[in-house]
């Protein structure tokens, strides 16, 4: 007997989180190669905040699946988005207030590079599915 297809496909969310996980050290190494260790640490912190927020959103949003759980899925997505926003705001507040040697430009660039994987992963995954 075949299994029914899931209403919520988690593959894209897993691909985004995996790609962002890989990008955290890549961003740090890139900043270190371009500038210095201070920039690398700042970029890694920005990348980590973005990864943590995205991971929370994916976990919160895709915990349940099925047609009967559609209201709960929507509610969890709203909770995930609010949590993601809170993690980003609190993360930046903590970093900006506690890290003394910080490069703000590298911090924002690290965040933006990892966030851009949320836009690149769907395109990349769609191309991979076309090839199969």
Q: Has residue 2 been placed in a domain?
A: no
Q: Has residue 3 been placed in a domain?
A: no
Q: Has residue 4 been placed in a domain?
A: no
Whole-prediction pTM value? 0.85
Q: Which of 17, 2, 12, 5 shows the shortest CA–CA distance to 129?
A: 12
Distances 22 to 16, 27, 37, 43, 55 between C-alpha atoms, Å: 10, 9, 19, 14, 13
For the chain, percent of residues with pLDDT exceeding 70 = 90
How many domains is the chain partitioned into structurally? Answer: 1
The mean per-residue pLDDT over the stretch 36-53 comes to 96
Looking at the predicted structure, is the pLDDT value of residue 31 above 80? yes
Range of the domain at 21: 11-131
* 127 vs 50, residue with greater confidence: 50
């Amino acid at each position: 007997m075949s299994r029914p297809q899931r209403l919520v496909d988690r593959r894209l969310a897993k691909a985004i989180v995996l790609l962002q996980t890989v990008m955290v050290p890549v961003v740090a190494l890139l900043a270190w190669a371009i500038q210095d260790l201070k920039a690398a640490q700042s970029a890694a912190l920005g990348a980590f905040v973005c990864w943590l927020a995205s991971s929370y959103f994916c976990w919160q949003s895709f915990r349940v699946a099925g047609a009967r759980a559609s209201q709960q899925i929507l509610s969890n997505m709203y909770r995930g988005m609010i949590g993601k926003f809170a993690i980003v705001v609190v993360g930046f507040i903590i970093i900006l207030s506690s890290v003394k040697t910080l490069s703000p430009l590298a911090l924002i660039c690290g965040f933006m590079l990892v966030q851009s994987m949320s836009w690149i992963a769907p395109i990349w995954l769609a191309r991979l599915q076309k090839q199969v």
